[in-house]
Amino acid sequence: MPLETPARIVSELASRGYNAEREAVTRIADTPNPSVTLERALETLPDEALKLTTDHVESVIEATEGAGSQPSTEPDSGDEITGTPANPHPSASTGAGAAPSTEPGTSAPPETGGSRDVDTSLRAIDVANDMTGQSTGTGEYSDFVAVFRDRYEKLASKLRGRVNHRPTDAIENMGGGSDAALIGMVSDIRSTASGHWLVELEDTNGTFPCLVMKDRPIADLVQQLLMDEVIAVEGTLADDAGILFVDSLYFPDVPRTHSPSTADRHVQAALISDVHVGSQEFMEDAWHRFTDWLHTPEAETVEYLLIAGDMVEGVGIYPEQDEELDIIDIYDQYRAFSEYLKEVPGDMEIRMIPGNHDAVRLAEPQPGFDEELRDIMSAHDAQVHSNPSLVTVEGVTVLMYHGVSLDEVIAELPDEEASYEEPHKAMYQLLKKRHVAPQYGGHTRLAPEDRDYLVMEEVPDVFHTGHVHKLGWGEYHNVVALNSGCWQAQTEFQKSVNIDPDAGFAPILDLDTLDMTVRKFT
């Protein structure tokens, strides 16, 4: 096998029981014949040595081809080759509004479930914010108070550096005409008879009314507000100090200076969602073409599969759903999904979260599957985490969230800010608010836990959702936002609510550049 890439060189070294310094591998890959260089380096390596050093490789290159005949690069570090990037660097990624690049999948049938020539020793994956098995909420009033306090404190901490915040009770005691700033949770939004906006903000001490004049540039921002999100405002108190005239409004937001991390080798991840096995409209042929393609040499660098919920169609999700089911038992649906998952190459790392069609509670955060379902879902040792979860793949943090709140965002905000045709723009709003489901009391159900698992405490490099069955991606403050479509053709129910799904697509993310390619398998 040719050793034209660092990954193949590391694989060959690992198969022989050797480790290597990062720059040693790079230097071997830069030579005209890496296979020959590696053999000579190992032949001359002392018997007791277990690590190939840069100095030793340099001496081999100089001895065989003459000093100075090869391009030289100064080493960044002496780190050993591992799956975790030592020096993550900014990436270039597709811009918002970029047209999908679609290429047909191939359909040469491989040996089902077989492994490819992939070096799994380089992999590194970590999961944070997984509340599976950690649920503490009892549903009592005090639990809800605690989770909203936690939300407020976490998001307020991201805003305190931008305004000179005073609590509501302190503002009430200030004199009229004073400059003031407040960080609060939106408890009410209404328009006045004159067309201005009155926004009630609540902190841990009370509430205070804030008036945004209709002719101010920030008036458009009020139309982006959702109930229960946390914002900061600053302005001037009225003469009687009973209301704050707002001059500026701030969201927790993603810093514009955010620099995403990337993998230190060329490796890719397939990001999909909404497979809906068990539905009569599950696109079995498209799935077969997708898994066939994963076995081809073209897909050899696709080492990860991340599924953002709704693996199965479920039972009793919407009226008369049973008439559209191909498999009527929920456990049989998961058994069938597990069989379909076996078609994926056995050496792929698979991580999944549940969605609203899966057999877990509807209230978010949703825990991963119970032991009975995990036993059924045993194919390839696929791991199921809670919804949402923060999955770090080779240094790239991917926030996986199924996306039920997108329905609410799209319904509440203006079309230019959020729509089903461009679902990634609705995701931009969630990034701006630093919360995956800010509005409570509507369609998105909240389970009170010991903390708010739905806050985006850490800025992700990639935000991956599903649920709305529409394909769309873009970039917001250097964060890749992707809604990955589905694997289910239009159902009768979807026709009744005017949903035209984007089905049979597989977004492929380059983890080393964060570039996106979308492949179509229909």
Question: Which residue shows structure tokens 């559209």?
Answer: 324
Residue 89 pLDDT > 80: no
Which are the contacts of 224, defined by CB distance < 8 A and separation ≥ 6? 413, 414, 417, 429, 432
Say whether both 237 and 274 belong to one domain: no
Residue 322 pLDDT > 70: yes
Say whether both 232 and 278 belong to one domain: no
Q: pLDDT tier at 378 (50, 70, 90 boundaries)? A: confident
| pLDDT at residue 25 in the model | 80
Q: pLDDT tier at 93 (50, 70, 90 boundaries)? A: very low
Q: pLDDT tier at 203 (50, 70, 90 boundaries)? A: very high
CATH no. for residue 185?
A: 2.40.50.140
| Angle, CA of 274, 522 and 407, to the nearest 5° | 30
| pLDDT at residue 72 in the model | 32
Say whether both 317 and 394 belong to one domain: yes
CATH no. for residue 10?
A: 1.10.8.60
More confident residue, 264 or 91: 264
Say whether both 359 and 402 belong to one domain: yes
| pLDDT at residue 165 in the model | 92
CATH no. for residue 429?
A: 3.60.21.50
Q: Count of CB atoms within 10 A of residue 103's CB?
A: 13
| DSSP state, residue 486 | B
Per the prediction, the chain carries an average pLDDT of 86
Residue 198 pLDDT > 60: yes
Q: Is residue 281 part of a domain?
A: yes
For range 157-186, the mean pLDDT = 93
Against a cut of 0.85, is the pTM above it?
A: no
For range 92-117, the mean pLDDT = 45
Residue 140 pLDDT > 70: yes
The count of structural domains within the chain is 3
Give the phi and the psi of residue 12 in degrees, each rounded to 5: -65, -40
* CB 461 within 8 Å of CB 443: no
Between CA 232 and CA 208 the distance in angstroms is 12
- Is the bond preceding residue 365 a cis peptide, omega within 30 degrees? yes
Q: pLDDT tier at 92 (50, 70, 90 boundaries)? A: very low
Residue 143 pLDDT > 60: yes
For range 289-314, the mean pLDDT = 96
What does the pLDDT look like over 413-425, one tens digit per residue? 998 899 999 999 9
Say whether both 411 and 453 belong to one domain: yes
Among 185, 215, 248, give the residue marking a domain's end: 248
What is the residue range of 41's domain?
1-60
Between CA 350 and CA 343 the distance in angstroms is 12
What does the pLDDT look like over 379-420, one tens digit per residue? 888 999 999 999 999 999 999 999 999 999 999 999 889 999
Say whether both 461 and 512 belong to one domain: yes
Number of H helices, E strands in the chain: 13, 19
What does the pLDDT look like over 13-39, one tens digit per residue? 765 667 777 788 888 888 878 878 888
